[in-house]
């Protein structure tokens, strides 16, 4: 039986006062028309739903609510699409991906306009500043970027290599990264996201960026960019002061075309493009016939980690001269491209042709 959409909106209005992020299904399959089933991703950042229930906001708007807890936005959105809940909270990334696959889903409230996360402590703990955290126990979700950042802070701060590590983390060293985990066929989402054969992860990480800022005007601003998945990629330094980007780093976007994504079809494989070279490397490393991603990924990391260490050392002594910076970027990108090409060939693929047949022909989007 369908839940009247006006009742879904009424619940959203009740919780929107607390800035809820809400996604609803316009063709819900829940059977009780007198009760609204609300999915809640258990996270203190999204406490609007239990707060609304506990403070009587739903009752105030004459809405009978049943709250169902979920451990992730992916699970909650799957339940919404299947009609198991009428409305749910979820983050922007999984929601955006779900909307492309489930046309019956609608975003009816936006809670993304927050001003950042908060550290919450008991009043009796006497914690009022970051300095007060010294020697205290800090709780974070296991294996998340928050946990990594807290650990880095405790160790004296987060540096550029530490940021690289957070972005390419697959929960190594935790029970979740145990002996059977395969990043090429993930059971859960991490910042370094990989496409699962079932499609539930909605693709690979497209690219990532670490910006290295300095108060010293004689040091350049470095933009460490990694195409595709960070665990199989390498962070190449680009510099604001250089005033240009290598041609290979700007492809596959044709020169002079619109920046509006609605004006484009899905790009096809381009062997000259830096981005496509690393997509080709990922596809070759994940070859389902070889089923050797763990060993291939480790070999890639040994090579690229050494390159990153070399570049970080050299970049610390660079001036802000545009020609020097541009030449260094060209040197780094050239070394990385040669290494990626050697790996692609070692894994039995042809760098001139896509491994995945989906990239061989244009597809309208």
Span 99-132, pLDDT tens digits: 766 777 888 877 655 566 666 788 888 888 878 8
Residue 221 banded pLDDT, cuts 50, 70, 90: very high
Full DSSP string of 83-114: TS-SEE---HHHHHHHHHH-TTEEEEE-----
Say what the pLDDT of residue 116 is. 60
- Average pLDDT in the 14-27 region? 48
Residue 2 banded pLDDT, cuts 50, 70, 90: very low
Say what the pLDDT of residue 154 is. 66
Say what the pLDDT of residue 113 is. 56
The answer to whether residue 365 scores a pLDDT higher than 50 is: no
Lowest model confidence (mean pLDDT) among 164-178, 218-232, 285-299: 164-178
Say what the pLDDT of residue 332 is. 96
Q: Compute the distance between CA of residue 49 and CA of residue 21 in angstroms, rounded to an integer.
A: 10
Q: Compute the distance between CA of residue 15 and CA of residue 87 in angstroms, rounded to an integer.
A: 12
Looking at every residue in the chain, the average pLDDT score rounds to 79
Say what the pLDDT of residue 364 is. 43
- Cβ distance 325 to 244 under 8 Å? no
- Cβ distance 195 to 203 under 8 Å? yes
Say what the pLDDT of residue 318 is. 93
More confident position, 21 or 242: 242
- Cβ distance 52 to 15 under 8 Å? yes
Which range, 177-181, 204-208, 230-234, 251-255, has the best average confidence (pLDDT)?
Answer: 230-234
Question: What's the CA angle centered on 195, arms 192 and 201, to 5 degrees?
Answer: 85
The answer to whether residue 62 scores a pLDDT higher than 60 is: yes
> 246, 241, 236: which is closest to 164 by C-alpha?
236
More confident position, 180 or 157: 157
> Cα-flanking dihedrals φ and ψ of residue 227, to 5°?
-75, 145
Which range, 14-23, 125-134, 217-226, has the best average confidence (pLDDT)?
Answer: 217-226
Q: Compute the distance between CA of residue 92 and CA of residue 211 in angstroms, rounded to an integer.
A: 23
Length of the chain: 365
Say what the pLDDT of residue 281 is. 97
Pair of tokens at residue 33: 């028309």
- Report pLDDT digits (tens) over 29-48: 555 668 889 888 887 667 77
- Report pLDDT digits (tens) over 142-170: 555 666 666 666 666 778 998 998 898 88
Q: Which helix or strand (DSSP H or E) is residue 307 part of?
A: helix 293-315
Q: Compute the distance between CA of residue 261 and CA of residue 264 in angstroms, rounded to an integer.
A: 6
Question: What's the CA angle centered on 166, arms 345 and 318, to 5 degrees?
Answer: 75
Say what the pLDDT of residue 363 is. 44
- Average pLDDT in the 324-339 region? 96
- 245 preceded by cis ω (within 30°)? no
β-bridge partners, 212: 222
Say what the pTM is.
Answer: 0.64
Residue 277 banded pLDDT, cuts 50, 70, 90: very high
Q: How many other CB atoms sit within 10 Å of the CB of residue 320?
A: 16
> 35, 120, 41, 130: which is closest to 86 by C-alpha?
35
- Cβ distance 289 to 211 under 8 Å? no
Which range, 113-127, 181-195, 209-223, 259-273, has the best average confidence (pLDDT)?
Answer: 209-223
- Average pLDDT in the 17-35 region? 55
Fill in the DSSP letter of residue 196: -
Using a pLDDT cut of 90, give the percent of the chain over it.
Answer: 29
């Amino acid at each position: 039986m369908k839940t009247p959409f006006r009742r879904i909106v009424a619940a959203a209005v009740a919780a929107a006062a607390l800035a809820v992020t809400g996604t609803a299904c316009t063709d819900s399959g829940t059977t009780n028309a007198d009760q609204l089933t609300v999915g809640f991703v258990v996270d203190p950042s999204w406490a609007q739903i239990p707060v609304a229930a506990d403070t009587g906001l739903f009752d105030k708007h004459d809405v009978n609510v049943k709250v169902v807890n979920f451990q992730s936005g992916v699970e909650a959105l799957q339940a919404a699409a299947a009609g198991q809940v009428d409305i749910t909270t979820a983050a922007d990334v999984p929601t955006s991906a779900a909307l492309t696959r489930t046309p019956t889903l609608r975003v009816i409230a936006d809670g993304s306009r927050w001003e950042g996360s908060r550290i919450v402590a008991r009043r009796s703990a006497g914690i009022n500043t970051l300095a007060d955290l010294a020697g205290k126990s800090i709780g974070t979700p296991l294996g998340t970027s928050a946990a990594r950042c807290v650990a880095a802070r405790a160790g004296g701060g987060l540096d550029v290599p530490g940021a690289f590590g957070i972005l390419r983390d697959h929960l190594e060293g935790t029970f979740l990264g145990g002996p059977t985990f395969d990043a090429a066929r993930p059971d859960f989402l991490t910042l370094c996201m990989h496409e699962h054969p079932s499609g539930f992860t909605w693709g690979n990480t497209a690219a990532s960026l670490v910006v290295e800022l300095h108060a010293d005007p004689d040091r350049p601003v470095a933009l460490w960019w990694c195409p595709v998945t960070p665990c199989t990629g390498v962070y190449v330094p680009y510099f604001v002061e250089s005033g240009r980007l290598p041609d290979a780093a700007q492809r596959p976007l044709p020169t002079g075309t619109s920046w509006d994504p609605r004006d484009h079809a899905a790009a096809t494989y381009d062997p000259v493009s830096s981005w496509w070279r690393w997509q080709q490397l990922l596809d070759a490393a994940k070859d389902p016939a070889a089923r050797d991603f763990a060993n291939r990924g480790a070999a890639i990391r040994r090579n690229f980690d050494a390159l990153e260490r070399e570049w970080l050392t050299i970049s610390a002594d660079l001036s802000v001269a545009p020609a020097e910076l541009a030449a260094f970027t060209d040197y780094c990108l050239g070394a990385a491209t040669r290494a990626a090409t050697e790996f692609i060939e070692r894994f039995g693929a042809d760098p001139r042709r896509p491994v995945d047949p989906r990239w061989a022909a244009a597809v309208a989007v």
